Each structure stands twice: as structure tokens, then as C-alpha cells.
Amino acid sequence: MEFLFQNTGLAIGLLGAGLAACLSGAGSGVGTGIAGQAGAGLVTQDPGKFGKVMILQVIPGTQGLYGLVVWFFAILQMGVLDGTALNLSFVDGCRYFAACLPMAIGGLVTAIAQGKVAASSVNLLAKNPDHWAKGMILCITVEFYAILSLLASFMMLVNI
């Protein structure tokens, strides 16, 4: 049992960091896909709206970037980049895992939700182009919660 506690800290910590990057990235892929499908329909009808559609599609992709930032900061803190990670205890590995969860779960959920809002905003752009900024504001409201997830993970990582 002692072998397990001595050698799994790094694996558990890396699992948490990987989940932050992968789940946030997967959510961003789904979210940008949802927005892109709606946007492609509008651009087919009105190619002049491509720039605004592209902005709406990109917004759900930010969670993937936030997840990557948490992943990088976590592996940096764990010592993977300077070679000291082999000394990571089981308890510390669990701490890193827990610290990465807010971004992993928050990034996944908010990216998908934001993709749906962005798709609806594409609809708004199609029907009433003058109110495009309102759709952007609706998307940014969801972004706030992704930023809170990033902040939670970051603050937890800093305090390990």
C-alpha cells in the first residue's frame, strides 16, 4: 500500500490537469460546433454577415484556452517542467486534481451553454442585424461563469 501512496501522486495530479484541458476543450469543440452550424446557415443566405458570425462562433472556444492555461499552470506547479514531480505525494496529487476540477467541469458546461446562446444570437443577427450587440452580451454573460471557474482553479493551484 505504501508503494501506491508514493507513486500515484503525480498520476492523480496529471489526471486533474488533463481533465481541465480535455473537458474544457471538448466543451469548446461542441459549443463552437453548435454556433458554427447556425452560422453556416446564415452565411449561406447572407455572406456579408460572415465577420459577425465568426465572432459569435469563436466565443465558446475561450473555455478551451482557459482549460489549457489551468493545465499548464498545474504541470508547472507540480514540477513536471523542472523535473521535481517525482516527489509529488499522493495527498498533493489529490490536491492538484481537486484544484483542476472547477475548470474541467465549469469549462465543459459553460462552453456548451455558450454555444447554444451563440447559435441563438446568430438567429438574432439573421432576423434583426441592428441588435447583434445584444446577442454578444448574452454570450458574454455565460463567459463570466467560465472566468469564475478559471479563477477558482487558479486560486486553488496557487495555494497548494
Dist CA 79 CA 89 (whole Å): 12
Overall average pLDDT of the 117-123 stretch: 97
User: What pTM value is reported for the model?
Assistant: 0.91
- Which residue would you say has higher pLDDT here, 89 or 2? 89
Q: Using CB atoms within 10 A of its CB, is residue 137 exposed (0-12), middle (13-18) or buried (19+)?
A: exposed
What single DSSP character describes residue 112? H
* pLDDT tens digits, one per residue of 38-86: 999 999 999 999 999 999 999 999 999 999 999 999 999 999 998 887 7
- Mean pLDDT (the chain, rounded): 94
Total domains in the chain come to 1
Amino acid identity, position 133: A
Overall average pLDDT of the 108-134 stretch: 96
Q: What is the CATH number of the domain that holds 145?
A: 1.20.120.610
- Domain limits at 89? 2-158
Instruction: Report percent pLDDT > 90 for the chain.
Output: 87
